[in-house]
Amino acid sequence: MPSVFLLDDHEIVRRGIAQLLETEDDICVVGEARHRRRARSPGALGRPAGTGRPSGI
Q: Residue 50: its pLDDT value, please?
A: 47
The whole-number pLDDT of residue 18 equals 93
> Environment class of residue 33 by beta-carbon count within 10 Å: exposed (0-12), middle (13-18) or buried (19+)?
buried
Q: What is the pTM of this model?
A: 0.61
Name beta bridge partners: 4. Answer: 29
Asked if 27 and 1 count as a contact pair (C-beta separation under 8 A), the reply is yes
Going from N- to C-terminal start, the domains of the chain cover 3-39
Using one digit for the tens of pLDDT, what is the confidence trace for 2-56?
Answer: 888 899 999 999 999 999 999 999 999 988 888 876 666 555 454 444 444 555 5
* Plot region of 37 (φ>0 → left; ψ -120 to 50 → alpha; else → beta): alpha
Q: What is the pLDDT of residue 51?
A: 43
Per-residue confidence (pLDDT) for residue 11, from 0 to 100: 92
Query: Which region, left, alpha or beta, applies to residue 56 given φ > 0 means left and ψ of -120 to 50 means alpha?
Result: left
Question: What confidence score (pLDDT) does residue 52 get?
Answer: 47
